Structure 1
Amino acid sequence: MSHLRLEELSASTIVHVNSLGLKPGQEQFVSPVSYAAAAAVTPVHTAWQRVVLDDDRVVGFIHGNFDPDALQEEFKAALWRINVDAEAQGQGVGRFAVEALIEEARRRGVERLTVLWERGEDGPEQFFLRIGFKQVGETEYGEVIGAIDL
C-alpha cells in the first residue's frame, strides 16, 4: 500500500466506493444515527469527500464535514464516514485517510476534529483511539463522541 493517494469523490469513483466490502459484523457500524439526523440540516457545500486509491484501485472513502455554523459542537469539524475495503483493512489505508482529513482541518484553521462511533464488537472504536481520538462525551443516541485536538 505504498502508492496511496487521494482523489475527490466523482461520478467515476462513486460506484467503486459503493462496492467497498466490509468484514463480517462491520455493517452495523457504518454510519451513526446522529449523522443521519444532522445530514438533514447540513449544507452540501461543507462536505469534504475523498476516495483513497492504491495505484488505480479504490480501497477506501472518507467524508469529512466542515461547518463552523453547525449548532452542535461535534458537527463543526467532523469525520462523518470512513470505509476501507475489507481486503485493505490493517494496511494503513484508514490512517492515511484520517491523516489527510486532519491536514485539511489544520489548513482550514480548525483546532478540534470530532468523530462519532457506536461501541460494539467489530466496531471502529479501537481504530479511532489508535489514531489519537479521545472519548469526550456521548450523544443522545448513546454514540461515543471522540475528538482530536490539532
Structure 2
Amino acid sequence: MSTPSLRAVEITPDNVRAATGIRVRADQDAFVAPVVLSLAEAYASRATAWPRLILDGDRPVAFVMAGFDPDREDPDRRCGIWRLNVAGDEQGRGYGRFAVQAVLDEARRRGHKRVTVSWVPGEGSPEEFYLRLGFRETGRVVGGETVGELLLE
C-alpha cells in the first residue's frame, strides 16, 4: 500500500495521545503490548528505539516500534520490529503492511541487511501476517516467542 495519505511520523507531544489511543482488537491483547507500554520502553531505550505513529491523512490508524542497535551482541536484537499495533477497526486495510515497510525502509537507510520480528504462536497470532510479508522462521524461540527474519537486498 503506497498512498500519499499514509505517513509514519515521530511521536511528539502533539500526537502522543493519538498514539496511545491505538487499540488492537480485544482478542489480540495477548499478542501485543499496549502502545503506552511501548512508549515507556522507547523512552527508556531512547538510543535504539524507533517508535512511529501511522497516519492516514490526519487519522491515527497504527503504531509501530522498531529497534536499531547494530552493536548489540545478540544478532536477533540488532535490527527488528518490537511492536506493531493496528487499531482494531482499521485492520485489513494495509496499514500493518505499510508500517512494516516503513521499518524496512529505515533499516535499509541505516545499512542493515536483516530485520527480525518475534511473535507468540497461537490462534490470532500475527504469525501468518509476517510470513505473508516475507519473514521466515529462524527456528529460534526466545521467551516463548518465535523469531522470524527478513533478509534485505
Q: TM-score, normalised by structure 2?
A: 0.86
Measure, in 1, the Cα distance between the counterparts of 2:92 and 2:128.
12
Q: Which amino acid counterpart does residue 80 of structure 1 have in structure 2?
A: W
Structure 2, unaligned runs of 5 or more: none
Deviating above 6 A after TM superposition, structure 1's stretches of 4 or more consecutive aligned residues are: none
**Per-residue deviation at 1:43?**
4.1
Q: Distance in 2 between matches of 1:21 and 1:50?
A: 15
What TM-score, normalized to structure 1?
0.87
1:133 to 114, 132, 135: 135
CA shift digits 1:37-82 (9 cap, x unpaired): xx6xx84211111110011111011101100121211110010001
Q: Distance in 2 between matches of 1:94 and 1:6?
A: 11
1:53 pairs, out of 52, 55, 58, with 55
1:12 Cα shift?
A: 1.9
- Distance apart, 1:21 and its partner CA: 2.1
Among candidates 93, 96, 110, match of residue 95 of structure 2: 93
The amino acid of 2:65's aligned partner reads: H
Between the aligned partners of 1:140 and 1:21, the Cα distance in structure 2 is 25
> Structure 1 residues 118, 147: CA separation in 2 closer, same or farther (over 3 Å shift)?
same
Once the 2 structures are TM-superposed, how far is the Cα of residue 93 of structure 1 from its aligned partner?
Answer: 0.2
Partner of 1:122: 124
How far apart are residue 140 of structure 1 and its match? Answer: 3.7
Using the aligned pairs only, state the percent identity.
41
Rounded to whole Å, the distance in 2 between the matches of 1:29 and 1:43 is 21
* Structure 1: 5+ residue stretches without partners: none
Q: Which residue of structure 1 lines up, in the alignment, with residue 104 of structure 2?
A: 102
Instruction: Tell me how far apart the structure 2 counterparts of residues 94 and 87 of structure 1 sit (CA, whole Å).
Output: 13
Alpha-carbon offset, residue 94 of structure 1 = 0.5
Distance, in Å, in 1 between the alignment partners of 2:142 and 2:97 is: 28
**Equivalent pairs, count:** 142
**How far apart, CA to CA, are the structure 1 residues paired with 2:71 and 2:45?**
10
What is the root-mean-square deviation in Å for CA atoms of aligned residues? 1.8
Q: What amino acid maps onto 1:143 in structure 2?
A: E
Distance 2:57 2:142 in 1: 41
Letter paired with 2:124: D
d(CA) in 1 for partners of 2:14, 2:50? 17
Could you give the per-residue CA deviations for residues 108-145 of structure 1, whole angstroms, max 9, x where no partner exists? 11010000110011111111111111000223422100
**Whole-Å separation in 2 of the counterparts to 1:81 and 1:109:** 21
